[in-house]
Amino acid sequence: MSEKTAPTETVPVIPHFVHGERREGASGRHSDVYHPATGSVAGRVPLASAEEIDAALASAEEGFAAWSALNPQRRGRILLRWVDLINENMDELATVLAQEHGKTFPDAKGDIQRGIEVVEFAAGAPHLLKGEFTADAGTGIDVHSIRQPLGVAVGITPFNFPAMIPLWKAGIALAAGNAFVLKPSERDPSVPVRLAELALEAGMPAGALNVVHGDKAAVDALIEDPRVKAVGFVGSTPIAQSIYAHAGRMGKRAQCFGGAKNHAVIMPDADLEMTADALVGAAFGSAGERCMAISVAVPVGAETADRLIALLRERVKDLRVGPSLEASSDFGPVVSKDAKERIEGYIAAGVEAGAELVEDGRGVVVEGHEDGFYVGATLFDRVTPEMSIYREEIFGPVLSVVRAKDYEEALTLVNEHEFGNGVAIFTRDGDAARDFSTRVDTGMVGVNVPIPVPIAYYTFGGWKASGFGDLNQHGTDGLKFYTKTKTVTTRWPSGVREGASFVMPAGS
């Protein structure tokens, strides 16, 4: 983790938010926060020590006591007030988000909006938390189940959706009556802190939602503390896998979502103009830094491939990469200098391996922003499955076209890939779409929809190396993850009803 700026330098500190107040951090360790559009250091984020984690968890236990004592409907009202406040502060939040992440302003609003939708869903918790009831399971015996909060849950979230993913996790966990400790990405930490401040303003008790920044030391301290009952993670696959294993060893429930390599299969009967538009948005929007970005297009048949490449080429060459807050930018910079170098390294590796570079996004210079972390839209044709640009997640604005001779070859390609987050098929044929949706080994499927992120009341989760754990995020799975079930079996002995006398007692 970078600690480049000397501690004496005067850049603003993005604080922790614990027990209803900003805390500057006492560990003496910090990480730099950049504005990717300019390449400049815009702030410093403290990295929490074990003692600071301990304090955040002590606060969360207090927060849990106060928050879980409210009935679910009251909690729901506070969540809705939180939604109102986020909407009232939308422009400020989206501006900061765009500056720290690099995505464009409208895209930053979308990041926040898709998070809000899950909080709106979560406000329906009174209905969603209802248990089951069976009368007369045996003679005079009733059985019912109730869902109770776990206590303190933690979320460790990635840089690429600094509002949406924290809101997905915190929204559901809080609605179920838990306290939530968020450990957001250290690369764009300001919006998570503002969201927690707004939760307090909405009426959440201090400690119900704490935000601590940190690296592996903070995450390990959270996972190992007995007060933490559940661990939710979203990020790259190696970290997802190791956190899932670590949480399992500690006896915690965990859901850990990892990386992706999402394919789009393009059938010969697809509307290719519409498909090309959809692919360009899905591959290059947010500079390809979306876990549901399309990074591989698989046209079926040589003629489909030739036509698709021609349509993609004319669109890709006109795309404008530029500063996040400039309206003319189709997409912004990538998140860091390291990310830019990694992506450009993959492009070089693709060329070296023999893929055909149709559009090259390396070496882009944005006037007035020469130090920004820009990579232009890059298109490869004739990529093959053994190439690193096909096997590995690039997480940048790079679209690889892999040509398949027929439908079965395209489907096999998707199913044999290590990752299984999202996938799309473009076709006019219902039978092909139905067969594909049934047989594809992937968690989320789009039919003529390039980025099939499920709506809040369905669940989000990938398969294979894209997800570890058995419950998805948000939707009813989310409520299950953040609650434990208690089952009560009841028999009452003969009571007052049988022994009661309805005659006016009279003295002898």
| Member of 258, 299, 333, 397 binding ligand NAD (CB under 6 A) | 258
Angle ∠(145,147,151) on CA atoms, nearest 5 = 145
256 included as an active-site residue: no
The minimum distance between CB 23 and ligand NAD, in angstroms, equals 18
CB of 219 to ligand NAD, least distance (A): 4
Q: Which of 74, 216, 249, 317 binds ligand NAD (CB under 6 A)?
A: 216
DSSP category for residue 455: P
Strand partners, 233: 156, 256
| 8 A C-beta contact, residue 403 and residue 305 | yes
How would you label 199-227 residue by residue, b for 16+ Cβ within 10 Å and e otherwise? Answer: bbebbbbbbbbbbbbbeebbbebbbebeb
Q: What is 29-47 written as a DSSP string?
A: -EEEEEETTTTEEEEEEE-
Task: Tell me, residue by residue from 130 to 169, as one string, x for binding to ligand NAD by CB under 6 A and - for no binding.
Answer: --------------------------xxxxxx--------
- Residue 63 CB, nearest approach to ligand NAD (Å): 21
Tell me which DSSP letter residue 69 carries: T
Rounded least distance, CB 258 to ligand NAD, Å = 6
Residue where the block lists tokens 């300001």: 190
Query: At its nearest, how many Å lie between ligand NAD and the CB of residue 273?
Result: 29
Q: How many CB atoms lie within 10 A of CB 28?
A: 10
Q: Which residue is nearest to ligand NAD (CB)?
A: 235
- First-to-last alpha carbon distance for the chain, in angstroms, is 90
Minimum distance from CB of 31 to ligand NAD (Å)? Answer: 9
Q: According to the binding rule CB under 6 A, does residue 393 interact with ligand NAD?
A: yes
Q: Cβ distance 210 to 18 under 8 Å?
A: yes
Q: Hunting for tokens 């207090």 — which residue is that?
A: 62
Cα 324 to the chain's mean position, in Å?
Answer: 21
Candidates 56-64, 235-243, 304-312, 434-442 — which segment interacts with ligand NAD by CB under 6 A? 235-243
Which one of the listed residues 211, 291, 319, 335 is annotated catalytic? 291
Round the CA-based radius of gyration of the chain to a whole number and report it: 26
Binder among 38, 262, 329, 466 for ligand NAD (CB under 6 A): 466
Q: Tokens 């609003």, residue?
A: 109
Indicate whether 185 belongs to the interface with ligand NAD (CB under 6 A).
yes
**219 binds ligand NAD per the rule CB under 6 A:** yes
Question: 222 phi and psi, to 5 degrees?
Answer: -65, -45
Query: Can residue 395 be called a binding residue for ligand NAD (CB under 6 A)?
Result: yes
234 binds ligand NAD (CB under 6 A): yes
Of 235 and 323, which has the nearer Cβ to ligand NAD? 235
Contact flags string 406-435 toward ligand NAD, x per CB under 6 A = ---------------x--------------
Yes or no: say if 387 and 353 are a contact pair by the CB < 8 Å rule: yes
Q: Is 295 in the site for ligand NAD (CB under 6 A)?
A: no
Please check whether residue 46 is in contact with residue 30, taking contact to mean a CB–CB distance below 8 angstroms. yes
Using CB under 6 A as the criterion, which residues of the chain lie in contact with ligand NAD when the complex forms? 156-161, 183, 185-186, 215-216, 219, 234-236, 239, 257-260, 291, 393, 395, 421, 462, 466
Q: Which residues are catalytic?
A: 291
